[in-house]
Structure 1
């Protein structure tokens, strides 16, 4: 049992060597509950590329239960665009938690670290998009102060049904 005062995970900036573990995590956690991308199939592309460099990611490491540290999750925090007029905003463009780390506060720790990183970069707002049917994620975001700022009804067609794209944000 983890001590209640112990953080659920150590959060750190991503490194080049995280490419393979993050790619594995992304494939293992893929679901139409949260992903708009097709299921990843071999041959797998690198996790990091020119549009998704390690600098945009924070990685959570936690004890896998056997005393060994493992990649428990990640969050991508980046400017929403290259426009100068919205550089005061950061956007979460992906968050994932390993199945073995769920229910341990890792997702919440990643959200808080994302907000801290956004503040460190000078942002005053943080936003994200979540699929309308992803109730667990929406509850987590709401518990961390995010509010629904817009809904694009039926914006996406996933697994045979139309799904809302929900825009959420908060001040920092």
Structure 2
């Protein structure tokens, strides 16, 4: 049993290098889009999502994961629905509860904001992520068959949600 403890906090600008490293190494064809991690990216934060959109996880004081949580809709009728738009854990920190701690932090943040629902998309072939989400109460709302063509293979996209 490890005595390591995972903690979470809001991201800050100084996390950018660590988050970029996770972003460029944590995703593969079963979990993300290879075209988005290819090339010479030098920044993690973007104009449309800065540090305020991220919760980071630390293990022994080192940033090892992130989750991006944002309003799903830009109009009043969609108020109360949040969207997880990315969850990644460093390869060497997997299996240590980082993903679960991030999921718990997002649920707490959703409740704090008065949200009624948190939605996300996941590749149908990403069984590890699907198990994580289901353990935290997310249910499948819909399936989009053959939504993406990744490395020559069609990949379904699943819509999952947690009702708060």
1:31 matched residue in structure 2: 28
**Residue from 105, 112, 136 that aligns with 1:113:** 105
Structure 1 regions of 5+ residues with no counterpart? Answer: 64-68
Moved more, 38-47 or 144-153: 38-47
1:57 corresponds in structure 2 to 54
- Where 1:118 maps in the other structure, the secondary structure is helix
Quote the Cα distance in structure 1 between the aligned partners of 2:26 and 2:158: 21
TM-score (norm. length: structure 2): 0.94
SS of structure 1 residue aligned to 2:35: coil
Aligned to 1:18: 15
How far off its partner does 1:62 sit?
0.4
Aligned position for 2:95: 103
Extract unaligned runs of 5+ from structure 2: none
After the TM superposition, list the runs of 4 or more consecutive aligned residues in structure 1 that deviate by more than 2 angstroms.
39-43
3-state SS of paired residue (1:149): strand
**Alpha carbons 1:126, 1:170 under 8 Å: kept:** yes
Say whether 1:46 aligns with 2:55: no
SS of corresponding position for 1:163: strand
Secondary structure of the 2:73 match is coil
How far 1:60 moved relative to its partner? 0.3
Q: What TM-score comes out, normalization by structure 1 length?
A: 0.90
Return closer, same or farther for 1:29/1:157 CA change in 2, 3 Å cut-off.
same
Go from structure 1 to structure 2 and tell me whether the alpha carbon gap of 1:161 and 1:149 turns closer, same or farther (over 3 Å shift): same
Asked if the contact 1:9/1:72 (under 8 Å) is kept, the reply is no
Contact 2:28 2:34 in 1 (8 A): no
Taking the aligned partners of 1:77 and 1:40, their CA distance within structure 2 comes to 20
**2:75 aligned with 1:90, yes or no?**
no
